[in-house]
Amino acid sequence: MLNGGGGDGGASAVDMEMLVSSLNRMHVETIGKLRYLEMRQKQMEDTLSKILDKLDK
């Protein structure tokens, strides 16, 4: 059980709402971090490509 197996048989509705809210926030934060990392990876790939082009000349 989410409440550690207490006598009420489960977490309260408020506990569940707080859990869902927390999970939603973490999900949004994770997506934001992934988008940032993808953007940084693209920038690094572009920079590497430019460096390699200059070396080929």
pLDDT over 80 (residue 2): no
What is the value of pTM for the model shown? Answer: 0.64
Tell me the H-state helices in the chain. 13-56
The predicted-structure confidence for 14-33, as pLDDT tens digits, reads as follows 999 999 999 999 999 999 99
Inter-CA distances, 7 with 10, 16, 39, 55, Å? 8, 17, 49, 71
Tokens at 11, concatenated: 């977490």
Q: Summarize the confidence of residues 33-56 as an average pLDDT.
A: 97
Name the pLDDT band for 6 (thresholds 50, 70, 90).
Answer: low
Structure tokens given for 13: 């509705």
